[in-house]
Structures are given as C-alpha cells and as structure tokens.
C-alpha cells in the first residue's frame, strides 16, 4: 500500500525570461526591505548592479568562494551587521547562494536569490561551510531563500561547457532524489520530470548557447531537481561529492558531472523502480545507457584527475566518505567498492567496470 510523508518548503518562485529586475523589485517590496545587501562575484558585479539599480542597496559584497570557507562567511556577516542590512539579494551560482545562506543562518535575514547557473541551491534549505579541508553541511529553515527569481536570459552568459557541468549537477540532484534517505513518490515524480527536461534542454543549449530554447527547460529542471533533492536528502552521490569538494577543493559542478555515472552504475541494479524512472526520462532502455548517451552528446566532464584530484588521495577520501553513506542506500557500500568507484571516476573509466573485481 502507498504510504508516505512529504513536506513542501515555503518559498515563492518567479519565472520569466528578461524580467529579472522587475521581478526582483517586486519581491523586495513584498518583503518591505529598506537596507539591501547584494552578493555577487567579481565577474557578476556589473550585472548585479544593473539588476539592483532600483533597490535600496546599502552594500555590494563581491568576495565569493567555492564551498563557502568559514572565514569568507564571517567577513560577509560582519559587513551585513555593519550596514544594518534587512535583506540579502544573491546574484550568481551556488557559491553565491551558499554565502547568502551562511549569512542568513547566523542572522535570520531573508534571502531573495537570483540564480545565473543551474546549481539549484536556491530552492533548498541545505547549507554548507568549509573549514580547513572539511566541508560541513546541514539543513535549516533560515537557509531557504524567501523567493527565487528565475530568468533564463541571465544564463545566456554561462558558456556551453559550464552549462553542461551545471546541468549535469542538476541531473545528479534528480538521480540522488530517487533513493535519498527521505525519498518519497512526490520526490521521484519531480526528479523524473527534471531528468526529462534536462535531456531535451541541455543538447539545445550546446547546439545554440545564445538561444533560450534550451535554457528555459534546463532552468525549469534545475528548480525541480532542487525541490526533489531538498525533500529526499543527500544520497550516496552527494556524500561522495561533498567530501571531494570540501577536502580537495575540486570544482563543484564538474565533480558532480564526473561522479554521477559511477554512482548510477553502482546503485541502479539494486533500485529497479528508480532505474526504470530514470531510463524512461532519458528515453533509453537502461538508465546508464541513457545517461552515457546524453553525456556523449554533451561532451561532458570525464575524469576527476582532470580537475586536480590525485590518485594518492583515494584512500583518505574513502575513509572520509564511508561514515557518511546513508544507511538506506539501495545497496550496502564497502570500503573496497567505494575505492573501485573512486578509482574509476579518477581515471574516467567505463562506469560498468566498478562492478568488476578486476578494477583497481
């Protein structure tokens, strides 16, 4: 018998191409904010100033770093307090949204997120902070942006290779949502639709990066993937990638894009319903065949060694990941199996080799 519990997060979502500034002004007015802090990286600074020109901005803060180092978060919190900020606007990708969450976590300030990538962090209440070589993540209602402004036109400046990596990061959210620790039928339905939209949208982005034809469904899918993931929780894939990103300073989206097929190859045989849903969404006979076909179309990132991960770090990564593996992962995870998975991902080997004892 069908039985589950599902919690929907309270968040307002505005989606329209070319309307970011107007939608943003409306949300700031709705919040009644009068002293706004704008977060954006140096590369997004000019655009963020244009988008927020009509807002009551008291400070523009441009120190953004991957994985939100604790010291970066502290400096941003200090700036928010000094300027007596009453709302935060984040313009950018997951790192920028993550910094906004770090401020909100300490202050309770409301966030209006304006994503310019397909990271999906803006639709979740998940936060992450890195101290030294350790990334800590958690869930907190204060980290959930009050509103999200989705304008696909803002993603036009995202180069095709980065769009692919970011889009595959969204696809990883969908896949993990199929078997995350709190996964339910609603999460799986959202994730399946997200995968379908990514399958149709990403090739169009690669074929014509200047068109909104592919950008709109991919951004729509990024939202669905994040909502599903926020409810389902971090599965094996994200536990692996959080360790790799935090401990070895690997780029977030590319790491997810590389690791995804190996986790899918490992878990899918033990999760037939999820495997069928993923395969159907990818219009393929099997989930892994569909993912690999899409990755070939997109010329996706292939190997962790291409992004700075050293083979000699595999054993230490295994030791850090193993205690974090969800207890209800579709199949048990041993140190040897995890070591094979990481070694295959490091090399960029055929994903099916992780089920063979001959793979180092």
Give the span between the Cα atoms of 101 and 90, in whole angstroms: 9
Tell me whether domains 12-155 and 160-355 share a fold: no
The SS3 call for residue 54 is coil
Q: What is the pLDDT of residues 120-176, one digit of tens each?
A: 999 999 899 988 877 788 889 999 999 999 999 999 999 999 999 999 999 999 999
Give the span between the Cα atoms of 8 and 31, in whole angstroms: 21
- Residue (of 190, 191, 194) closest to 217 by Cα position: 194
160-355 falls under which CATH superfamily?
Answer: Dehydroquinate synthase-like - alpha domain (1.20.1090.10)
Give the pLDDT band of residue 246 (cuts 50, 70, 90): confident
pLDDT at 360 over 70: no
Give the span between the Cα atoms of 227 and 182, in whole angstroms: 13
pLDDT at 70 over 90: yes
Tokens read off for 312: 């000699």
Give the span between the Cα atoms of 268 and 282, in whole angstroms: 14
Give the span between the Cα atoms of 271 and 260, in whole angstroms: 16
Domain chopping of the chain, boundaries: 12-155, 160-355
Q: Is 303 exposed, middle or buried (0-12, 13-18, 19+ CB in 10 A)?
A: middle
Q: Does domain 12-155 have CATH number 3.90.79.10?
A: no
pLDDT at 197 over 60: yes
- Residue (of 161, 25, 1) closest to 89 by Cα position: 25
Give the pLDDT band of residue 53 (cuts 50, 70, 90): very high
Considering the chain, what is the average pLDDT of its residues?
Answer: 94
Q: Which residues contact 355 (CB under 8 A, 6 or more apart)?
A: 265, 266, 269
Task: Report which secondary-structure segment, H or E, holds 37.
Answer: strand 36-39
Give the span between the Cα atoms of 34 and 87, in whole angstroms: 8
Give the span between the Cα atoms of 102 and 239, in whole angstroms: 20
CB 339 within 8 A of CB 318: yes
pLDDT at 137: 84
């Amino acid at each position: 018998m069908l039985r589950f519990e599902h919690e929907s997060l309270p968040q307002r979502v505005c989606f329209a191409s070319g309307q970011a500034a107007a939608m943003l002004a409306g949300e700031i007015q709705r919040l009644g904010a009068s002293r706004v802090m704008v977060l954006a990286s140096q590369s997004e600074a000019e655009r963020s100033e244009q988008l927020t020109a009509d807002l009551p901005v008291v400070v523009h803060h441009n120190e953004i770093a991957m994985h939100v180092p604790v010291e970066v978060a502290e400096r941003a919190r200090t700036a928010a307090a000094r300027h007596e900020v009453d709302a935060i606007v984040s313009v950018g990708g997951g790192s920028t949204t993550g910094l906004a969450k770090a401020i909100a976590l300490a202050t309770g300030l409301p966030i209006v997120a304006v994503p310019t990538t397909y990271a999906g962090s803006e639709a979740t209440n998940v936060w992450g902070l890195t101290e030294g070589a350790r990334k800590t993540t958690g869930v907190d209602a204060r980290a959930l942006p009050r509103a999200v402004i989705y304008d696909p036109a803002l993603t036009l400046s995202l180069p095709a290779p980065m769009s692919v990596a970011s889009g595959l990061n969204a696809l990883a959210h969908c896949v993990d949502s199929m078997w995350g620790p709190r996964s339910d039928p609603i999460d799986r339905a959202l994730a399946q639709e997200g995968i379908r939209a990514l399958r149709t949208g990403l090739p169009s982005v690669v074929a014509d990066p200047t068109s909104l034809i592919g950008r709109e469904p991919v951004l729509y899918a990024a939202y669905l993937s994040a909502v599903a993931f926020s409810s389902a929780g971090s599965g094996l894939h994200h536990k692996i990638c959080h360790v790799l990103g935090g401990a070895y300073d690997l780029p977030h989206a590319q790491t997810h894009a590389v690791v995804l097929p190996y986790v899918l190859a490992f878990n899918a045989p033990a999760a037939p319903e999820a495997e069928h849903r993923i395969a159907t969404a990818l219009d393929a006979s099997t989930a892994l065949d569909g993912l690999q076909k899409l990755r070939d179309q997109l010329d996706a990132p292939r190997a962790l060694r291409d992004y700075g991960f050293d083979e000699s770090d595999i054993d230490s990564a295994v030791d850090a990941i193993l205690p974090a593996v969800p207890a209800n992962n579709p199949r048990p995870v041993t140190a040897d199996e995890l070591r094979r998975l990481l070694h295959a991902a490091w090399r960029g080997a055929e994903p099916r080799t992780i089920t063979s004892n001959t793979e180092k």
